[in-house]
Amino acid sequence: MRTHTSAGALPAREHLPAVEPGAPVTPVLDVVIPVHNEEKDLEACVVRLREYLTRTFPYAFRITVADNASTDRTPEIARRLGHVMAEVTSVRLEQKGRGRALRAVWERSDAPVLAYMDVDLSTDLKALLPLVAPLISGHSDLAIGSRLAGGSRVVRGPKREFVSRTYNLILRSSLAARFSDAQCGFKAIRADVAERLLPMVEDTGWFFDTEMLVLAERAGLRIHEVPVDWVDDPDSTVRIVRTAVDDLKGVWRVGRALAVGALPLDRLARPFGDDPRDRTIGGVPGGLARQLVGFCVVGALSTLAYLALYSVFRAGVGPQAANALALLVSAVANTAANRRLTFGVRGRERAVRHQAQGLVVFGIGLALTSGSLAALDAAASAGSPSHGTELAVLVAANLAATVLRFLLFRAWVFPDRRTDHPAPGNEKAVR
């Protein structure tokens, strides 16, 4: 997986400034149309899109035809359109791949909002302004057209409907994706986000935008979904079986990279204070409320796992050994989960150190629970205490250990380092 990105977090989202009178006109929107052997549909698509944008879009725009190694008259048509229309330009690539074409154009575009759509214009153009408006206003980081969102109107055959819904079900179950439609060829992204996100995206084909969306969502970026009216193109040249196989390979690769923390997604984080949940509340340290919720959820699941493990181990060993083993296993998983979910630490940096510190915290918890068991055993004057009594004592001891564990995690294991190096211009937001 690609890992090189610029250092530092993303700046706060802001509304794109209005163009001042007399200032040089720079396109606000760059719409890319990736094509391969599309001599039949290209001219009609570009003419229709340009006419629509000229009539309805209130900002300067550019249409870029990205030719993917076409062998027909597509490059000639693209160049001719660029000569006769000032808003149209073309780029020639000698290798195929939709993702390769989008990356090539987006990485060198000077427009602050980047979009793409398929040449068949299956998506109604009325959705274009709702697609890019949240990016222009600073509300969202990416935007996608969705054929599966409420309010969408779609005309397509049962085979494509089945493939689309099955694919999105796979994404939801395997990569925990929450967006509803990964494959619709109608998407947009802010250029400042693309600058950081695209170097992490490895695929150069049809899986490119799915990978982009999954990484963006995992990094906590905001994805806006627009219901679209969509009519299937019966002459589409997409090879469904081959594309499905490549997509499944991509799902496996991305899932593995996310599982081992191979991607520095923290570099896509917005600065402190941009998220309303991070704003300062009187008497409450920044981020504390959200961390408490995450810690409680992880803690509840860890406690259930711990009790289950204790019951399993208790069948073969004594209470002290069963307690130690169950607590050790659950502590490693608890530290890893809190590291990522509660305190937002991603990547491999300091992972070993965090686990070592987590084991120290585990030792304190072990001392509390083991001491509780020892006290219970000493207090039981007649015979051994029942299994239910042991569990009740352990739950009480774990509650006390949990409070201490959260304080140690927050202050020692995962301290908020943003206060040491506040983002430029954002010093007041950091307390």
Active site residues: 209
CA distance 248 to 233: 24
> What is the four-CA torsion angle of 313, 319, 324, 328, rounded to 10 degrees?
40
**Both ends of the chain: CA-CA distance in Å?**
36
CB burial of residue 105 (10 Å; 0-12, 13-18, 19+):
buried
Rg (CA), the chain: 27
Alpha helices in 260-408 (DSSP H): 288-314, 319-337, 351-379, 387-408
Other CB atoms within 10 Å distance of the CB of residue 262: 17
Q: Where are the beta strands (DSSP E) in 94-245?
A: 113-117, 142-146, 153-155, 186-190, 223-227, 229-231
Residue with token string 């408006």: 133
CA distance 325 to 341: 24
Phi, psi of 225 (to 5 degrees): -110, 135
Find, among 124, 93, 16, the residue nearest to 61 by Cα. Answer: 16
CA distance 119 to 44: 9
CA distance 26 to 403: 55
CB burial of residue 174 (10 Å; 0-12, 13-18, 19+):
middle
Q: Rounded to whole angstroms, what are the CA distances from 367 to 312, 316, 335, 378?
A: 21, 22, 18, 16
CA distance 91 to 65: 6
